[in-house]
Structure 1
Amino acid sequence: MAVVFDPEMEAMYSAWYCSREGRAVEKALEEMFRVLLKPRPGQRVLDVGCGTGNHLLILSRIGLNVCGIDASEHMISKARERLGQRCLLERAWAEELPFEDNEFDLVVLINTLEFVEDPIRVLREAGRVASEKVFVGVINSFSWRALRARILKSWSDPLFREARFFNLWQMVTFLRAAFGSVPFEWLCASPYPTMIEKLWVPDQDFWGGRRAPWGLLLGICCPIVYTVKTDNLLVKVKPERIPNPAGQVPISTLWPMGIRGGGKGRDYERGIPL
């Protein structure tokens, strides 16, 4: 991962998460999990870039068996303080997950791709360990909040200094590069819209409908689909000859398939498509 959170960045993120906007985002994220992941109780889920465990608590609340990894030892320690023995927590890199293929049913990445160098590589690793679905949640680069964050970079805000934000079309490009032409579902909403956003789209049901392409929170989910391509192989066989009484035309044992003997010197080989 390109950015590893230190105590200062963790304190800033935790303060935001406890704010009114942060709580609204948490509520919207839980709804996205239910709508897009369609989780079943008891499924195993891995949170890549779990931070202090905020999203693990949501996933645990909806009945999933949770596991989390993060590149920051400080964040993992904080998560252990909050979750105790309720889940497995490991310090690991998103680019090299220490798990077997298909070890989890679901994999989620929430505000993780914004801080990695190679999003496609991270997505491929997530797809490798997931057997059913991968869910990605990012701050939408088309949102007013993302524009504000870009301005804050010039003020040396450590939380946004290294972050990159993505929009729906960029995320679709990443997913197709990682998994091929897989189907996907997406939701995007501003759970706590600014006055400017309200002026752009006064209909609050539109935000609640979760289809605003410039909302703050973008969630996109795709199934892990394995494709198989079949092809016909041409195999040559040589049928047995039946002994011919004198004066009779030889008949192949493959006659029911339309192959007849042809007399002296005829070759009985034929290709059979399998």
Structure 2
Amino acid sequence: MNSTEIEKKSSSDLVRQGQQNWQGREEWFFNRKHTDTYELWYEGRYKRAEVWQKKIMEQLIGKDKRVKTLLEFGCGTTHFTRWWKQIGIEASGGDISPFMLSQALHLFDGDLVMADSHFMPFKDHSFDALAFVTTFEYYKDPVKVLREAARVGKYGIMMGMMNKTTPKFIRRRTQQLFGLNPFYVTATFYTPKTLTELVHKALKGRDYTIEWTMTGLPKWFPVQQWNQSYGDFFALYIRLNDVE
């Protein structure tokens, strides 16, 4: 066996071990069949949704003028990570999937790290803010991840989430039942209310404020953004007030 074959074998063993041991379950982002097509999701039917998702996240984080740097964890191929620069925020990315990051290396000119979000390899207040965009749904210990985010992100935490209270929730679970959608098998869906309750548990004793807004409404609906709990996607910003 030559050195190249040994290197490939070691890489495949590492990924296989990650599938079996990280969070004690197999995750879709350790499977190249799914990660290789991830970017295509946003170039077709989800393009319109992405526009509104970015719009509401920009609205919320833009209010916190302290935020100039950001770490997006679960950055994947850096689809959203590449966008932060457009709204004046210097971004870095972190992910646990070597397959996702191998694509990110060719798409993103910023800093990347392969690490577990439960144990972020950064000093306290390394960034002005932390961001999770459609990735927080996959953490088995979300309280621990939130505490890490509040440790590493000095001023705030930006959340972009798939909402549970939507007609598409039934479709998601039906697809999962019939093995048609591997992306939601291990996902936990939240509403603004249940996520807020989780934040209160994780950040007990901290001084913070929470603001959220919803989008992902039907195209024919008279508004495309509102502060009701019904819709496909919501943005939630946790502003940390007890730091200078």
TM-score under structure 1 length normalisation = 0.73
Q: CA deviation at 1:4?
A: 5.7
**Counterpart in 2 of 1:115?**
138
Does the aligned pair in 1 maintain the 2:53–2:215 contact within 8 Å? no
Alpha-carbon distance in 2 for matches of 1:143, 1:149 = 10
Paired residue for 1:61?
86
* Conserved? CA contact 1:70–1:94, under 8 Å: yes
Q: Distance in 2 between matches of 1:11 and 1:211?
A: 35
Residue 173 of structure 1 corresponds to: 197
What SS does structure 1 have at the residue aligned with 2:137? helix
Distance 1:170 1:42 in 2: 26
What is the CA distance between 1:88 and its match in structure 2? Answer: 0.4
Per-residue deviation at 1:54? 0.7
Query: What amino acid maps onto 2:54 in structure 1?
Result: E
- Further displaced range: 176-185 or 145-154: 176-185
Higher helix proportion (structure 1 or 2): 2
Q: For residues 115 and 28 of structure 2, what CA distance do their matches in structure 1 show?
A: 11
| Secondary structure of residue in 1 paired with 2:60 | helix
User: How many angstroms does 1:11 deviate by?
Assistant: 3.6
RMSD: 2.1
Q: Work out which of the residue numbers 24, 32, 43 in structure 2 matches 1:7.
A: 32
Q: Deviations over 1:14-37 (max 9, x none)?
A: 3322223x2122211221232111
**SS in structure 2 at match of 1:25:** helix
Equivalent positions of 1:43-58 (< 5 A) are 43-58=68-83
Map residues 137-216 of structure 1 onto 2, 5 A cutoff.
Answer: 137-156=160-179, 157-180=181-204, 182-190=208-216, 193=218, 202=221, 204-205=222-223, 207-208=224-225, 210-216=226-232
* Larger-Rg structure: 1
2:16 alignment partner in structure 1: none
Which of 193, 213, 224 is 2:240 aligned to?
224
The one of the two structures with greater contact order (alpha-carbon pairs below 8 A, sep at least 6) is 2
Contact 2:72 2:131 in 1 (8 A): yes
Contact 1:130 1:224 (8 Å CA) reproduced:
no
Aligned partner of residue 162 in structure 1, secondary structure:
coil
**Once the 2 structures are TM-superposed, how far is the Cα of residue 10 of structure 1 from its aligned partner?**
1.6
Percent identity at matched positions? 23
Q: Normalised by the size of structure 2, how large is the TM-score?
A: 0.81
Distance verdict in 2 for CA 1:163–1:97, change over 3 Å: same
Tell me, which stretches of 5 or more residues in structure 2 are unaligned? Answer: 1-21
Shift of 1:182: 2.9
Q: Which runs of 5+ in 1 are unaligned?
A: 228-274
* Secondary structure of 2:209's aligned partner: coil
Measured after TM superposition, the shift of residue 72 of structure 1 is 0.1
1:74 Cα deviation after fit? 0.8
Task: Number of aligned residue pairs: give it.
Answer: 214
State the match for 2:4 in structure 1.
none
Residue 40 of structure 1: how far off its partner (Å): 5.0
Q: Deviations over 1:112-168 (max 9, x none)?
A: 121111111111111110111101111101112222111111112211211121111
How far apart are 1:80 and its partner, in Å? 0.9
Instruction: Find the aligned partners of 1:105 and 1:112 in 2 and give their Cα distance.
Output: 20
Q: In 2, Cα distance between the equivalents of 1:161 and 1:187?
A: 26
- Secondary structure, in 3 states, of the residue corresponding to 2:157? strand
The match for 2:126 is 103
